[in-house]
Amino acid sequence: MSLDINLKCTHCNHSVWYANITHNLNAMADEAGIYEAVWRPEECGITTAGQLIEPLRKAIAEMKAEPERFKKHNPENGWGSYDVFVPWLERCLESCIGNPDCRVEACR
């Protein structure tokens, strides 16, 4: 299982950024307080990339400040890790900053 995040232009519906990550990182995301915003944005009222900026910034800062707290959630099966997830979140943040008006779509 995995999560697909897609940022789409509200004018032409063109995808401007797409990324996939394993669902095995959901416990780490939950620990960082980012699970709902990233995995289920529609359930917490997030519709645009701009609305993800602050939650992503906060989670990334927290994860970098306390890596061991989050590494304990590395999946035992080896699919996904802190070392993969933080850069993924950073790329997501960069895309949201560059495209704040894009619509956010999450597919689980």
- Tell me the C-alpha to C-alpha distance, in Å, between residue 6 and each of 19, 23, 77, 94, 103: 7, 16, 26, 13, 8
* φ/ψ of residue 85, rounded to 5: -70, -45
pLDDT given for residue 78 in this prediction: 92
pLDDT of 12 reads: 95
Helix (H) / strand (E) element for 20: namely: strand 15-22
- In the chain, where are the structural domains located? 2-107
Q: What is the pLDDT of residue 5?
A: 97
Residue 74: its pLDDT value, please? 98
At 1-54, the pLDDT tens digits run: 899 999 999 999 999 999 999 999 999 999 999 999 999 999 999 999 999 999
| pLDDT per residue as tens digits for the range 55-74 | 999 999 999 999 999 999 99
In this predicted structure, what is the pLDDT of residue 1?
A: 82
Q: What pLDDT is recorded for position 70?
A: 98
